[in-house]
Amino acid sequence: MANEKMVAMLLAGGKGTRLESLTKKMAKPAVFFGGKYRIIDFPLSNCANSGINCIGVLTQYESVALNTYIGNGSKWGIDGNKSVTTNLPPRQTEEGATWYKGTADAIYQNIDFLDERQPDYVAILSGDHIYKMDYSKMLEAHIKNDADLTIAVLNVSLEEAKRFGIMKADETGRITNFTEKPKHPESTLASMGIYIFSYKVLREYLIKDHKNPDSDNDFGKNVIPEMLAKKKKLYAYEFEGYWKDVGTISSLWEANMDLLDGKCTMNLYENTQRIFSEDTHSLPQLIGETGSVHNSMINQGAEINGSVTHSVIFNEVVVEEGAEVVDSVIMPNTVIKAGVKIRKAIVGPDLIITSSKEPTEDEVILVNN
């Protein structure tokens, strides 16, 4: 169903410092993934597949490449015909000009955008995770529970729980406790950073949070605990599919390898829940007479004259004769010169690699200059 009454706000302004030089000149959601995608393709495709036809994309850090890529939303069919995608960078207002200070502040600074559309519900999404999800089903659960806020959750290990907002819920799914990144977690029910708010309640708590000088203006640290303290109706919506936070070099590498190893349960090839992306209009990939490919993904426009094993190769990559690529991710328009060996690495875009890159220990290396 088309959710005309729900607007999605996509938080896509993160710097992504743990991705090191990959995000030196581009925002984290614009980073390449899976042979042909960018990270932001996943939440935007989820919106399109869920019937959400109004999306605000909140950009901030190194936003030019991301804004250019998003364009008018036509890659995902959200292009202004019957739907709209709007880039929402920080801007100067009567109160002055400030960067987004936190997740809640980013939404607060765009209350006028939401007020103009008068939605009944607002979905707040993170722009830097790999997953497929039908938000319309989450909205159905939100309405059924007459909730003020519904939080998508998944079960994680106790060790992983220290990195997430962790909550407890009763047998009905109602949240009874929420702690942001606890040192000693008492639950393994982790927030995915995906929220559906009833807009009247969201608006009230955003204004209240903005007026609090001691607030970090963050949903996990401030808004959600305050709503719980005021006995608002918060519910957990359990997600059981594949979900990956790709905020580090090792986790980005692992998510790419999951596509090859069958650990990724997402079907990227089904027609009903497709992940849309930019068509590079490249020629077909070419495996030359001296080339060999084993258990790898090779995108269009790639030319393989060397050996590629258990790797993800993006468009317009050239692997020259005698070169070897193993357990690696090679991003677009990069050339691996003859005789070079690449192992367990992420190699950035638009490079010419003339010397071998292999880890000295069992770790993933980043090659980006």
121-162 tens-digit pLDDT: 999 999 889 999 999 999 999 999 999 999 999 999 988 898
Residue at which a domain ends, from 244, 261, 278: 261
Number of Cβ atoms within 10 Å of the Cβ of 156: 18
Q: Are residue 255 and residue 335 in the same domain, yes or no?
A: no
Per-residue pLDDT of 153-186, as tens digits, reads: 999 998 889 888 999 999 999 999 999 889 999 8
User: Which tokens hold the place of 320?
Assistant: 């020259």
Structural domain contains residue 277: no
> Which residues contact residue 147 at a Cβ distance below 8 angstroms, ignoring those fewer than 6 apart?
141, 196, 198, 233, 234, 235
Q: Do the Cβ atoms of 20 and 50 come closer than 8 Å? A: no
∠ at Cα 90 (104, 127), nearest 5°?
60
Domain total for the chain?
2
Report pLDDT for 67: 79
Q: Is the pLDDT of residue 16 over 60?
A: no
Report pLDDT for 94: 60
Per-residue pLDDT of 184-208, as tens digits, reads: 998 999 999 999 999 999 999 999 9
Q: Do the Cβ atoms of 56 and 281 come closer than 8 Å? A: no
Q: Is the pLDDT of residue 1 over 50?
A: no
The residue with tokens 């079907």 is 267
Q: Are residue 174 and residue 307 in the same domain, yes or no?
A: no
If you average pLDDT over residues 28-32, what whole number do you get?
89
Give how far the C-alpha of residue 150 lies from the chain's centroid of Cα atoms, to the nearest Å: 19
CATH code of residue 332: 2.160.10.10
Question: What kind and span of H or E run contains 208?
Answer: helix 199-210
Per-residue pLDDT of 296-354, as tens digits, reads: 999 999 999 999 999 999 999 999 999 999 999 999 999 999 999 999 999 999 999 99
Q: Which of 71, 219, 237, 230 is nearest to 140 (CA)?
A: 237
∠ at Cα 95 (90, 101), nearest 5°?
45
Q: Are residue 198 and residue 295 in the same domain, yes or no?
A: no
CA dist 30 and 57 (Å) reads 12
Q: Are residue 168 and residue 71 in the same domain, yes or no?
A: yes
Give residue 95's pLDDT band: very low, low, confident or very high (50, 70, 90): low
The domain in which residue 356 lies consists of 286-367
Structural domain contains residue 116: yes
Residue at which a domain ends, from 218, 245, 261: 261
Structural domain contains residue 148: yes
Structural domain contains residue 344: yes
CA dist 128 and 28 (Å) reads 7
If you average pLDDT over residues 78-85, what whole number do you get?
67
Structural domain contains residue 278: no
* pTM over the 0.95 mark: no
If you average pLDDT over residues 260-286, what whole number do you get?
87
Chain mean pLDDT for the chain: 90
Q: Do the Cβ atoms of 217 and 209 come closer than 8 Å? A: yes
CATH code of residue 182: 3.90.550.10
Q: Are residue 240 and residue 303 in the same domain, yes or no?
A: no
Structural domain contains residue 1: no
Q: Are residue 45 and residue 109 in the same domain, yes or no?
A: yes
Q: Are residue 208 and residue 161 in the same domain, yes or no?
A: yes
Structural domain contains residue 271: no
Instruction: Output helix, strand, coil percentages for the chain, rounded to the nearest 5.
Output: 25, 30, 45
